[in-house]
Amino acid sequence: MDGYLSEMKQELSKEEIGSFVYSGLFMTYMQAIRFLTDYLNNDIYYGAAYEKHNYMRAKNQASAAAPNTPLFSSSDGSIRKRSTDLV
């Protein structure tokens, strides 16, 4: 995150920077849903190298987002605080 912002901070609006932390978590969660959907639809979009490949991809993405999941619904402003710290 620091490396990206060191290069791009001047190009981003305050709104974009304020959404930075949430956006990364959301994209990870969204990808988990996409892999799971593909698995349930017989692997027609991403394809699969082995049985349950997209199911495993979905689990891995969900696991990557899981430690941060409380940030999605936190009422204490965790996302807002972490994002505004970047501005």
The stretches of 1-87 forming alpha helices (DSSP H) are 2-8, 14-18, 20-40, 53-65, 70-73, 78-84
Among 51, 53, 60, CA closest to 32:
60
Separation of alpha carbons 16 and 24, rounded Å:
12
State pLDDT tens for residues 40-61. Answer: 999 999 999 999 999 999 999 9
Question: CA 23 to CA 31: how far, in whole Å?
Answer: 12
> 11-29: per-residue pLDDT in tens?
989 888 888 778 888 899 8
Interval 6-12 mean pLDDT: 88
pLDDT of res. 78: 53
Whether this model's pTM surpasses 0.95: no
